[in-house]
Amino acid sequence: MRNSRLAILAASGLLMAAIAVPAQEKKAGAEKKAAAPEKKMEAPKPAPEVKRLGYFVGTWKTDADIKPNPMMPAGKMTSADKSEWFPGGFHVVIHSTGKSPMGPSHGLGILAYDAENKVYTYYGIDNSGFATLSKGNVDGKNWVFTDESKMGGKTYHGRYSMTEDSPTSYSFKYEMSEDGKNWALIMEGKSSKAAAAAKM
């Protein structure tokens, strides 16, 4: 009798073990599955509109006429502008050096596209302490950027209009207004793109 009880207990133990092993394996598998690393988030990609900024990439030579105005002396302005994609492909960074009626000039500009507000942006600074943030749009080959600035307690509106005359040249003008309705021409000129260096 004792032996039969031991046999029953042994059989029961084996049965429980047989049931427990797959259950433990299943649980371990579930834990491994739960602990599996999540898929990495994909890096954001530039909106299709960003590619439009590729027009500006390259080295440009700019010549402009500054008209008589209360902001600066009239005269000629020249600059060499090197524009390149910032790593990531979202922004175009522009380094400018040149001369104006006020002397040597150095500038830094950043062109981008604001996908949330569906507008192009330009942020620029120069060695005179000037800084501006403009918002713009493009229609075909015509670009228009507008901004606001304060000088002497007055608010001035600025408007930069540019036309792509060809893949390697564009003409532009900059106007200012106190009321946003009557505009005065401050500067106009033309930029030409240097030919890309031949690859060896």
- Domain boundary assignment for the chain: 48-193
The model's pTM: 0.75
According to the model, what pLDDT value does residue 153 have? 83
Contacting residues for 155 by C-beta, under 8 A, at least 6 apart: 148, 149, 178
- Structure confidence at residue 3 (pLDDT): 43
Q: What percent of the chain has pLDDT over 90?
A: 62
**Overall average pLDDT of the 117-145 stretch:** 96
The pLDDT score that the predictor gives to residue 149 is 87
Q: Residue 71: pLDDT band by 50, 70, 90 thresholds?
A: confident
Who wins on pLDDT, 145 or 36? 145
pLDDT confidence band for 196 (50 / 70 / 90): low
Task: Give the model's pLDDT for residue 199.
Answer: 46
Cβ(90)–Cβ(101) under 8 Å? no
Q: How far apart are the first and last CA of the chain?
A: 98
Question: Which H or E run contains 76?
Answer: strand 75-85
Nearest one of 35, 39, 31, 105 to 66, comparing CA atoms:
105
User: CA–CA separation, 37 vs 28, rounded Å?
Assistant: 16
Which residue's entry shows tokens 């031991």?
A: 6
Fold of 48-193: Lipocalin (2.40.128)
